[in-house]
Amino acid sequence: MSLKRQIWAVVTAAGSGTRLGAQVPKALVEVDGVPALVRVLKTLAEVPELDGVVITCPQESQELFESAVPVRLPYRVHVVPGGPSRQSSVYEGLKIVEQVDSRALVLIHDAARCLAPAKVFNRVISHLREGAVGVVTALPVKDTIKIVVPTENPGELERVSQTPLRSNLRAVQTPQGFDLERLMAAHRVALELGKDESCAAPDDASLMESQDYPVRICEGDEQSFKITTALDLQLANLLAKDIPVEVDQLPFGPKGDDVV
């Protein structure tokens, strides 16, 4: 009888936060007094099946991120420097997971989506356990979307080339869940093709799709929005007041034995 496959999460936290005007990396910007990354880690503590988390951080900030990890988390934590793109950062995190369990099921999540509730993580895990190789959380698109013809002349108005049916569109979020072996294969194909920086994929689902792996959509959550602008941060601060975080572990101590 084979051992049950482990569940790991790679939390991408290598963003600079410049668009927020922050003086700290984006993942450490406080949302109602608690760093965004810490909110994610505390939420993941509510995911019973989770075995471990890999955090990808800015190259120069590994020690800072290690010191921000709460103590007494119910899963293992690794902090690793990310790469020059989101794709390369995720790949660095996946390599850590592969060393632990090459058959693992893995969740990819943005630290900037720090209010995503535990139920969406559990939802994705459930679909992976049922045999899906790629699951993406998403919501129906509310706005009408236009496809435009880019212009090379400054000041020239873009021309609409197509209006896709809104019923066929979904606004993709994280977490996204995958079979690790297949996701690593897709990443390595992209690396061989040189698609690691300037041609980096927008998300891991895109890499899987490019290799014809089936990617399914499951229900996301309104609270899983990404904090990108100052307005997003204002909304997150407002919503976070109704999402309490235990403060007995704040401020966070030095790196513990469960952090590598």
Per-domain boundaries in the chain = 7-240
Percent of the chain with pLDDT over 70: 90
Residue 243: pLDDT band (50, 70, 90) is confident
- Choose the most confident range, by mean pLDDT, from 16-20, 75-79, 254-258: 75-79
Query: Is the pLDDT reported for residue 152 higher than 60?
Result: yes
The confidence score (pLDDT) of residue 38 equals 96
The confidence score (pLDDT) of residue 1 equals 46
More confident residue, 16 or 32: 32
CATH fold for the domain made of 7-240: Spore Coat Polysaccharide Biosynthesis Protein SpsA; Chain A (3.90.550)
The confidence score (pLDDT) of residue 194 equals 74
Query: Is the pLDDT reported for residue 252 higher than 50?
Result: no
The confidence score (pLDDT) of residue 37 equals 97
More confident residue, 167 or 248: 167
Query: Is the pLDDT reported for residue 255 higher than 90?
Result: no
Instruction: Name the average pLDDT for the chain.
Output: 90
The confidence score (pLDDT) of residue 253 equals 38
Give pLDDT tens digits for 69-126: 998 899 999 999 998 889 999 999 999 999 999 999 999 999 999 999 999 999 999 9
The confidence score (pLDDT) of residue 154 equals 86
Phi, psi at residue 91, to the nearest 5°? -60, -40
Percent of the chain with pLDDT over 90: 77
Mean local confidence (pLDDT), 159-186: 97
Mean local confidence (pLDDT), 127-134: 97
The confidence score (pLDDT) of residue 247 equals 53
The confidence score (pLDDT) of residue 195 equals 59
Query: Is the pLDDT reported for residue 229 higher than 50?
Result: yes
Residue 256: pLDDT band (50, 70, 90) is very low
